[in-house]
Amino acid sequence: MAGSAVLLISCPDQKGLVSAIADFLFEHGGNILHADQHQDAELGLFLMRVEWDLEGFSLDLSEVPARFGPIARRFGMEWRLASSFQRPRVAVFVSRQIHCLVDLLYRHRAGELACEIPLIVSNHSEGEWIAAACGIPYYRFEIVPGRREEAEARQIELLEAHRIDLVVLARYMQILSPAMVGRFPNRIINIHHSFLPAFSGAKPYHQAYERGVKLIGATSHYVTEILDDGPIIEQDVVRISHRDQVPDLVRKGQDLEKVVLSRAVRWQVENRILVYGRKTVVFS
């Protein structure tokens, strides 16, 4: 099969954008499969995702930057090209709670996530059994207080050696350093066990219980240097009652965490997310 290609575009909103993009693809024999766009009127910003069939497309994808470049410069575009042949290489980080890890590995094996998972990184041993069952190398790094940077330096070397495109924090309960975050801008996805911006930081289920909230949630977001403050990708909630204790909140919340994280990872590997400012646009 020829597969498909995707352009993700953001630029100042102006006349002729959609026409120029469609004309470029038509000129080179591209058949558009999906096209979606969004205008942020307040910022005057245009965002678009367009996917086309490579069957009959007259350009090799390596030629697209040179041919599309003049159009992009004329409209002041920031743009990115991807193809269905490019399966992102994903490293999953996890600590003691492995429910999100197990869910991601199941979905990967079931064909729901179009990526490769060449390694799992942890600061605990709880996930070793599922990694072994899936035949994925499991690297354990002890995080010693005051020496986190040493462990992270070795982690970064490992990620670079495996040519990792995306890091997924599947309940990895360590704060990443600016050095780590800076190596993977908008390419580290975290799952936080609350409906951000409520109850950021540690023990959000305990915080929610103490406040007597009626809804709890989970949030998947990009990691930035500010804790739990990165652009939000996906969120969901579940209703709770006065009868629920902290263990009940944890149990209900963990189901949400799995779904919310897997959606965010799937959208990322399918090139459906554009980040602008502190927001994201997720194209369906």
Domain boundary among 58, 83, 108: 83
Domain boundary residue among 83, 103, 127? 83
Residue 190: which CATH number? 3.40.50.170
Query: The tokens 């597969």 sit on which residue?
Result: 3
Domain containing 163 equals 89-282
DSSP 270: T
Expressed in percent and rounded to 5, the helix, strand and coil fractions of the chain are: 35, 30, 35
Question: Residue 168: what pLDDT?
Answer: 98
pLDDT string in tens for the chain (284-residue length): 579 999 999 999 999 999 999 999 999 999 999 999 999 999 999 999 999 999 999 999 999 999 999 999 999 999 999 999 899 999 999 999 999 999 999 999 999 999 999 999 999 999 999 999 999 999 999 988 888 888 999 999 999 999 999 999 999 999 999 999 999 999 999 999 999 999 988 899 999 999 999 999 999 999 999 988 999 999 999 999 999 999 999 999 999 999 999 999 999 999 999 999 899 999 98
Q: Which pairs from 65-68 meet CB under 8 Å and 24+ separation?
A: 67/24, 67/28, 68/7, 68/24
How far apart CA 137 and CA 130 sit, in angstroms, is: 10
Domain match, 147 and 253 both: yes
Q: What per-residue confidence (pLDDT) applies to 240?
A: 94
Helix (H) or strand (E) holding 191: strand 188-192
What pLDDT was estimated at residue 6? 97
Domain boundary among 46, 63, 83: 83
The domain that holds 61 is classified in CATH as 3.30.70.260
The per-residue pLDDT for 204 is 94
In this prediction, residue 1 carries a pLDDT of 52
Q: Check whether residue 252 and residue 179 sit in a common domain.
A: yes
| Count of domains for the chain | 2
Q: Which residues are part of the catalytic machinery? A: 228
